[in-house]
Chain A
């Protein structure tokens, strides 16, 4: 069974540009989560999508946004990039069983975003 996949592996942008990161969950998983792992700041929750809807977002500005597609894959968009957005962005997926999340999140390898 394939795990969570993310693309691209690395992304280099300049300040002010936009970045788009993609995530494909494990087959059968309907929830997708995004986390930011920046140097010195640890793992911070960004966004949670389930069944195509945004369920929760972390303490990040609105220029961090995303969506979930009908096939449950997801996209994270970061507008007006700032230097401090440089980080490893991790996607995770989980499955909901009869409306209850098992909350076991399985992570992808991440996208390393570098903002110059």
Chain B
């Protein structure tokens, strides 16, 4: 079955500290992988995506993610978190032929001063 797991429901980090959000997927074919961010009451903003090629992808707002096929993971990282990064983060997987995205349950990030 196709699924995405984000093991951490809620994470709190200090401003300026590094961040890693975990994402594991189960998918029969070669996946397309995405990270989105959602501020309260808002839609989803695309942070970055992986389709093929270099397994380390750079996104907006200083985020990066690394695709590890052997671990079925696509973890999101940021070297130094800003207070404005507080939001909910969603990992998603999709098919190359298009269609629905399957989302993880999300990780809520809180940033303390």
Contact = CB atoms under 8 A, between A and B. Distances in A.
Interface of A: 4, 31, 33, 35, 42-43, 45, 48, 50, 55-56, 58, 88, 90, 92, 94, 96, 100-110, 112
Interface stretch (B19-27, B57-65, B71-79, B96-104): B96-104
Contacts, number: 66
B99 A48 contact: yes
Task: Report whether over half of chain A's contact residues are helix, strand or loop; otherwise say mixed.
Answer: strand
7 contacts: A43-B92, A43-B103, A56-B99, A92-B44, A103-B32, A105-B94, A107-B43
Given A45-B101, A110-B41, 14 more contacts: A42-B103, A45-B102, A50-B98, A55-B98, A55-B99, A88-B41, A90-B44, A92-B44, A100-B96, A103-B32, A104-B49, A105-B94, A109-B42, A109-B43
B75 to A, nearest CB: 19
B101 A105 contact: yes
